[in-house]
Structure 1
Amino acid sequence: MSDPLFDEDDEANTPLTEEERDQLIPTYITLRRELNEAEQINISSAMKRLSARKRDVINDQFLRDLHKRMFDQVWRWAGTYRTTPRNIGIEAYRIPTEVRQLVDDVRFQVEHETYPPDEIAVRFSHRLVSVHPFPNGNGRHSRLAADLLAVQLGQRHFSWGRINLVDPGETRKAYITALRSADQHDIQALMAFARS
């Protein structure tokens, strides 16, 4: 079965530029599943380091540091905002301003209890992934950030369908459908998916 490393698929992976691809750190990686495995090991390590600390998730520097921790053993650009266009997300030059605005908005929502804690965290994840600040890993980053925010707000981590959402499948399709509903300002499906 073929497993080309940088083949594009319209649902699971953000296409990388040639320059971004050249920033891959492990030299042994030649297949997509090897990349997914290396990234998951890196993310698991980051999660262990994060679990023992109190943190302020609603902070743009923390969000960059979180992405770096999640992918620093795999990508040299980990934790660095993208500078190239994507088929999703906003224009690259707007990323720093939009992330700061998101952080300010979520701080306001928390302070004024605009929504219940779960909804604040899910809305945070959705908006962060829609900005698409990094070359890759945006979905995993936004979900982990939402988990950390939920805990900061006194809630449990989300389950996000209880499966790896990187690999194509029915759970991934349900997640994409929920994201698209949220894009149309209906957050209920994404909230339900986050706790499924």
Structure 2
Amino acid sequence: MPLTPGYGETPLPHDELDALLAEVVEILDKPITRADVYALEQSLQDQVVEALMPAALDGSLPLDELLSDYFIRDLHTQLFGPIWQWGGRQRQLELNIGVAPELIAVELRSTLGSIAWRWEHTDDWTPRQLGIVVHAETVRIHPFVDGNGRTTRLLADLAFAAAQDPTVQQYDWDLDKQRYIGLLRAFDVHRDVTELAAFVGIEQIELQEP
């Protein structure tokens, strides 16, 4: 999802600056801005996608592995661990979003397990809908201090790729943020993914020959 105008114009707040790893602070120009950190995060995400997406495409990273609590924790670690002290760590504080901290581990495990069972034993969802369900349910739990959106969208991308046979489509996350958040909130109430999945665009991808 694109940055809003003016995102990188101000220095990083002190609380966020303190959460950066010392080696990251060392290499970035001063003052460190949000845009500086975002660029670093995006570069790291590109590397993670490059490492994981081929495995989702060729079946060596199957859905039963993707839909596990340990995988999403490892994914968050890969995306944010080299930059932030909270990378890969479960949220410990109560927020006005997400489940209570003491419920995160159980809720994540049971929710992903239920999604995997339903995909395996019913015809309720298309591959497109499956990935969005994975994203919406995990972002609802809000398991991490930060980076929940990026982590769960990438998890959705991997699940969508793994669920298609053959993989010919991918999500387009360049969308109206306000409408997107509204549909996520509506999903939290009724758990019907139809409208949200239809809203998140898809595009054709070119598969490389093995």
TM interval, short-chain normalised: 0.7 to 0.9
| 2:62 counterpart of 1:49 | no
The corresponding residue for 1:75 is: 84
Q: 2:195 aligns with which of 180, 189, 192?
A: 189
Q: 1:61 aligns with which of 70, 74, 80?
A: 70
AA partner of residue 117 (structure 1): P
Q: How far did residue 122 of structure 1 move?
A: 1.0
The corresponding residue for 2:20 is: 24
The corresponding residue for 1:14 is: none
Q: Please report the RMSD computed on the Cα atoms of aligned residues, expressed in angstroms.
A: 2.1
Gaps of at least 5 residues in structure 1 are 8-17, 164-170
AA partner of residue 116 (structure 1): T
Q: 2:95 aligns with which of 73, 76, 86?
A: 86
With normalisation by structure 2, the TM-score equals 0.76
The corresponding residue for 1:38 is: 40
Q: How far did residue 142 of structure 1 move?
A: 0.8
Q: How far did residue 76 of structure 1 move?
A: 2.5
Q: Distance in 2 between matches of 1:157 and 1:74?
A: 27
Structure 1 residues 4 and 86 mapped into 2: Cα distance closer, same or farther (>3 Å)? farther
The corresponding residue for 1:107 is: 116
With normalisation by structure 1, the TM-score equals 0.81
Q: Distance in 1 between matches of 2:13 and 2:188?
A: 27
State the Cα deviation string for residues 104-163 of structure 1 (Å, max 9, x = none): 101111111332222222111101001000111101111110111111111532112x36
Gaps of at least 5 residues in structure 2 are 1-5, 203-210
Structure 1 residues 87 and 49 mapped into 2: Cα distance closer, same or farther (>3 Å)? same
Question: Does the 8 Å CA contact 1:148/1:157 hold for their aligned counterparts?
Answer: no
AA partner of residue 182 (structure 1): F
Range with bigger deviation, 133-142 or 171-180: 171-180
Percent identity among equivalent residues? 30
Q: 1:96 aligns with which of 101, 105, 116?
A: 105
| 2:185 counterpart of 1:172 | no
Question: Does the 8 Å CA contact 1:60/1:103 hold for their aligned counterparts?
Answer: yes
Q: 2:170 aligns with which of 131, 153, 157?
A: 157
Q: How far did residue 4 of structure 1 move?
A: 4.2
Q: Distance in 2 between matches of 1:179 and 1:147?
A: 17
The corresponding residue for 2:131 is: 121
Give the count of matched residue pairs. Answer: 177
